Protein backbone atom coordinates (compact mmCIF):
# COMPACT_ATOMS: atom_id res chain seq x y z
CA UNK A 1 0.00 0.00 0.00
CA UNK A 2 1.38 3.40 -1.01
CA UNK A 3 1.95 5.75 1.92
CA UNK A 4 0.25 9.14 2.02
CA UNK A 5 2.93 11.10 0.18
CA UNK A 6 3.14 14.66 -1.07
CA UNK A 7 2.16 14.89 -4.74
CA UNK A 8 4.49 16.71 -7.11
CA UNK A 9 3.11 17.74 -10.50
CA UNK A 10 6.02 18.15 -12.88
CA UNK A 11 7.10 18.36 -16.50
CA UNK A 12 10.47 16.81 -17.23
CA UNK A 13 11.97 19.55 -19.41
CA UNK A 14 10.67 22.58 -17.54
CA UNK A 15 13.58 24.34 -15.74
CA UNK A 16 11.32 25.41 -12.89
CA UNK A 17 10.23 21.82 -12.39
CA UNK A 18 13.84 20.63 -12.68
CA UNK A 19 15.01 22.73 -9.80
CA UNK A 20 12.13 21.61 -7.62
CA UNK A 21 12.94 17.95 -8.36
CA UNK A 22 16.62 18.60 -7.65
CA UNK A 23 15.83 19.91 -4.19
CA UNK A 24 13.41 17.08 -3.45
CA UNK A 25 15.93 14.39 -4.40
CA UNK A 26 18.76 16.14 -2.57
CA UNK A 27 16.66 16.36 0.59
CA UNK A 28 15.92 12.64 0.52
CA UNK A 29 12.16 13.16 0.61
CA UNK A 30 9.88 10.76 -1.26
CA UNK A 31 6.95 12.12 -3.23
CA UNK A 32 4.42 10.85 -5.73
CA UNK A 33 5.43 12.27 -9.09
CA UNK A 34 2.73 13.16 -11.58
CA UNK A 35 4.34 13.89 -14.93
CA UNK A 36 2.02 16.08 -16.96
CA UNK A 37 1.84 17.26 -20.56
CA UNK A 38 1.29 21.00 -20.50
CA UNK A 39 -0.90 20.90 -23.62
CA UNK A 40 -3.23 18.51 -21.80
CA UNK A 41 -3.27 19.58 -18.17
CA UNK A 42 -5.15 17.24 -15.86
CA UNK A 43 -8.13 18.62 -13.96
CA UNK A 44 -6.47 17.65 -10.68
CA UNK A 45 -3.55 19.98 -11.41
CA UNK A 46 -5.86 22.87 -12.26
CA UNK A 47 -7.93 22.22 -9.17
CA UNK A 48 -4.83 22.36 -6.99
CA UNK A 49 -3.40 25.43 -8.75
CA UNK A 50 -5.67 27.23 -11.22
CA UNK A 51 -2.75 29.04 -12.88
CA UNK A 52 -1.87 25.68 -14.43
CA UNK A 53 1.92 25.88 -14.33
CA UNK A 54 4.40 23.38 -12.92
CA UNK A 55 5.79 22.48 -10.51
CA UNK A 56 2.97 22.15 -8.00
CA UNK A 57 3.35 20.36 -4.69
CA UNK A 58 0.27 19.16 -2.85
CA UNK A 59 0.95 18.16 0.73
CA UNK A 60 -1.14 15.30 2.13
CA UNK A 61 -4.16 16.13 4.21
CA UNK A 62 -2.54 14.25 7.07
CA UNK A 63 0.22 16.87 7.24
CA UNK A 64 0.19 19.81 9.61
CA UNK A 65 -0.80 22.10 6.75
CA UNK A 66 -3.89 20.05 5.86
CA UNK A 67 -3.31 19.64 2.17
CA UNK A 68 -1.49 22.91 1.58
CA UNK A 69 -0.54 23.61 -2.03
CA UNK A 70 2.87 25.07 -2.93
CA UNK A 71 2.93 26.23 -6.54
CA UNK A 72 6.14 28.25 -6.82
CA UNK A 73 9.33 26.34 -7.60
CA UNK A 74 11.47 28.40 -5.22
CA UNK A 75 9.03 27.71 -2.39
CA UNK A 76 9.07 23.97 -3.15
CA UNK A 77 12.87 24.06 -2.99
CA UNK A 78 12.79 25.82 0.37
CA UNK A 79 10.15 23.42 1.70
CA UNK A 80 12.29 20.40 0.85
CA UNK A 81 15.56 21.90 2.09
CA UNK A 82 14.07 23.07 5.37
CA UNK A 83 13.11 19.46 6.03
CA UNK A 84 16.61 18.21 5.19
CA UNK A 85 19.54 20.14 3.77
CA UNK A 86 22.56 17.81 3.95
CA UNK A 87 24.95 20.10 2.04
CA UNK A 88 23.68 23.41 3.42
CA UNK A 89 22.29 24.78 0.17
CA UNK A 90 20.27 27.26 2.23
CA UNK A 91 23.46 28.71 3.70
CA UNK A 92 22.32 28.30 7.29
CA UNK A 93 24.07 30.70 9.66
CA UNK A 94 25.41 32.72 6.73
CA UNK A 95 22.75 35.35 5.96
CA UNK A 96 25.00 37.22 3.50
CA UNK A 97 25.38 34.16 1.25
CA UNK A 98 21.67 33.42 1.50
CA UNK A 99 20.84 37.03 0.58
CA UNK A 100 23.20 36.86 -2.41
CA UNK A 101 21.65 33.57 -3.47
CA UNK A 102 18.12 34.90 -3.30
CA UNK A 103 19.10 38.04 -5.22
CA UNK A 104 20.65 35.98 -8.02
CA UNK A 105 17.60 33.73 -8.25
CA UNK A 106 15.29 36.73 -8.36
CA UNK A 107 17.33 38.29 -11.17
CA UNK A 108 17.30 34.99 -13.05
CA UNK A 109 13.54 34.61 -12.74
CA UNK A 110 12.54 38.22 -13.32
CA UNK A 111 15.08 39.35 -15.92
CA UNK A 112 17.14 36.56 -17.51
CA UNK A 113 14.17 34.25 -18.10
CA UNK A 114 12.31 36.98 -20.00
CA UNK A 115 15.25 37.52 -22.35
CA UNK A 116 15.78 33.76 -22.62
CA UNK A 117 12.19 33.22 -23.79
CA UNK A 118 12.66 35.84 -26.49
CA UNK A 119 15.99 34.35 -27.54
CA UNK A 120 14.57 30.83 -27.74
CA UNK A 121 11.27 31.79 -29.36
CA UNK A 122 12.49 34.80 -31.30
CA UNK A 123 9.97 34.21 -34.10
CA UNK A 124 7.26 35.30 -31.67
CA UNK A 125 9.06 38.58 -30.99
CA UNK A 126 9.84 40.05 -34.42
CA UNK A 127 10.65 43.49 -32.97
CA UNK A 128 14.32 42.45 -32.83
CA UNK A 129 16.56 39.78 -34.42
CA UNK A 130 17.54 36.74 -32.39
CA UNK A 131 21.05 37.97 -31.67
CA UNK A 132 19.61 41.04 -29.94
CA UNK A 133 17.84 38.85 -27.37
CA UNK A 134 20.99 36.79 -26.93
CA UNK A 135 22.92 39.95 -26.17
CA UNK A 136 20.37 40.84 -23.50
CA UNK A 137 20.94 37.39 -21.96
CA UNK A 138 24.68 37.99 -21.96
CA UNK A 139 24.35 40.62 -19.26
CA UNK A 140 23.58 37.75 -16.89
CA UNK A 141 26.19 35.44 -18.40
CA UNK A 142 28.92 38.04 -17.83
CA UNK A 143 27.81 38.49 -14.23
CA UNK A 144 27.85 34.75 -13.53
CA UNK A 145 31.26 34.34 -15.19
CA UNK A 146 32.69 37.05 -12.97
CA UNK A 147 31.25 35.42 -9.87
CA UNK A 148 32.85 32.13 -10.86
CA UNK A 149 36.18 33.92 -11.24
CA UNK A 150 35.96 34.66 -7.52
CA UNK A 151 34.96 31.24 -6.24
CA UNK A 152 34.03 27.76 -7.38
CA UNK A 153 30.27 28.29 -7.11
CA UNK A 154 28.09 31.35 -7.56
CA UNK A 155 28.19 32.60 -3.98
CA UNK A 156 31.13 30.78 -2.47
CA UNK A 157 33.27 27.67 -2.38
CA UNK A 158 30.32 25.35 -1.83
CA UNK A 159 27.13 24.79 -3.76
CA UNK A 160 24.09 26.84 -2.78
CA UNK A 161 20.44 27.08 -3.70
CA UNK A 162 21.47 29.72 -6.27
CA UNK A 163 23.53 27.23 -8.30
CA UNK A 164 20.76 24.65 -8.29
CA UNK A 165 17.98 27.12 -9.07
CA UNK A 166 19.83 28.82 -11.92
CA UNK A 167 21.72 26.14 -13.84
CA UNK A 168 18.59 24.62 -15.48
CA UNK A 169 18.00 27.99 -17.15
CA UNK A 170 21.61 28.28 -18.33
CA UNK A 171 21.16 24.76 -19.71
CA UNK A 172 18.12 25.96 -21.63
CA UNK A 173 20.06 28.94 -22.95
CA UNK A 174 22.96 26.75 -24.05
CA UNK A 175 20.65 24.39 -25.92
CA UNK A 176 19.34 27.16 -28.17
CA UNK A 177 22.73 27.31 -29.92
CA UNK A 178 25.23 24.96 -28.36
CA UNK A 179 28.00 25.83 -30.80
CA UNK A 180 27.72 29.51 -30.00
CA UNK A 181 27.57 28.95 -26.23
CA UNK A 182 30.59 26.65 -26.06
CA UNK A 183 32.63 29.02 -28.20
CA UNK A 184 31.62 32.11 -26.24
CA UNK A 185 34.07 33.71 -23.76
CA UNK A 186 32.51 32.09 -20.69
CA UNK A 187 34.84 29.16 -19.90
CA UNK A 188 34.07 29.05 -16.19
CA UNK A 189 30.33 29.18 -16.76
CA UNK A 190 30.63 26.38 -19.33
CA UNK A 191 32.58 24.24 -16.86
CA UNK A 192 30.10 25.04 -14.06
CA UNK A 193 27.16 24.06 -16.26
CA UNK A 194 28.79 20.83 -17.42
CA UNK A 195 29.63 19.91 -13.84
CA UNK A 196 25.98 20.12 -12.84
CA UNK A 197 24.71 18.41 -15.98
CA UNK A 198 27.03 15.45 -15.40
CA UNK A 199 26.16 15.09 -11.72
CA UNK A 200 24.40 11.96 -10.51
CA UNK A 201 21.76 14.22 -8.97
CA UNK A 202 20.81 15.75 -12.32
CA UNK A 203 20.87 12.38 -14.06
CA UNK A 204 18.47 11.07 -11.40
CA UNK A 205 15.96 13.91 -11.78
CA UNK A 206 15.96 13.59 -15.56
CA UNK A 207 14.75 10.01 -15.64
CA UNK A 208 11.72 9.65 -17.85
CA UNK A 209 8.35 8.97 -16.28
CA UNK A 210 5.10 8.07 -18.00
CA UNK A 211 2.47 10.76 -18.33
CA UNK A 212 0.17 10.64 -15.32
CA UNK A 213 -3.42 9.59 -15.85
CA UNK A 214 -6.20 9.49 -13.30
CA UNK A 215 -6.35 6.05 -11.73
CA UNK A 216 -2.78 5.16 -12.65
CA UNK A 217 -0.47 3.48 -10.19
CA UNK A 218 1.45 6.08 -8.19
CA UNK A 219 4.98 6.75 -9.44
CA UNK A 220 7.40 7.19 -6.57
CA UNK A 221 10.04 9.87 -6.88
CA UNK A 222 12.89 9.46 -6.68
CA UNK A 223 12.43 6.07 -8.28
CA UNK A 224 13.25 3.12 -6.02
CA UNK A 225 16.64 1.60 -6.76
CA UNK A 226 16.14 -1.31 -9.12
CA UNK A 227 19.77 -2.48 -9.20
Q: What is the pLDDT of residue 4?
A: 87
The CATH number of domain 95-202 is 3.40.190.10? no
Q: What is the pLDDT of residue 1?
A: 36
Find the radius of gyration of the CA atoms of the chain: 18
Burial label, 30 (beta-carbon count in 10 A; 0-12, 13-18, 19+): middle
pLDDT tens-place string over residues 146-203: 999 999 999 999 999 999 999 999 999 999 999 999 999 999 999 999 999 999 999 9
Q: What is the pLDDT of residue 65?
A: 56
| Residue ranges in the chain whose pLDDT is less than 70 | 1-3, 62-67, 225-227
- CATH match for 7-87+203-221 among 3.40.50.300, 3.40.50.2000, 3.30.465.10, 3.40.30.10: 3.40.30.10
Q: What residues does 70 pair with on adjacent strands?
A: 57
Domain boundaries, the chain: 7-87+203-221, 95-202
Q: What is the pLDDT of residue 61?
A: 79
Number of Cα atoms under 13 Å in the Cβ half of residue 90: 18
For the full predicted model, state whether its pTM sits above 0.85: yes
d(CA 95, CA 86): 18
Q: What is the pLDDT of residue 224?
A: 81
Q: What is the pLDDT of residue 66?
A: 57
Task: Count the Cβ atoms, other than its own, within 10 Å of residue 156.
Answer: 19
Q: What is the pLDDT of residue 2?
A: 53
Q: What is the pLDDT of residue 141?
A: 98
Q: What is the pLDDT of residue 91?
A: 96
Residues 6+ apart with CB under 8 A from 219: 32, 33, 34, 35, 209, 210, 212
Amino acid sequence: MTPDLPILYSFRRCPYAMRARLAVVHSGIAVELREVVLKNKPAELLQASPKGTVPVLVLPASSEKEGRVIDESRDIMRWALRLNDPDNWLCAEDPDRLWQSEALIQENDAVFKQHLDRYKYFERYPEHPQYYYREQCETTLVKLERLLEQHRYLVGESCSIADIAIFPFIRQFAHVDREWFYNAPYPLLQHWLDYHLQSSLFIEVMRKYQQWQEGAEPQLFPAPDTH
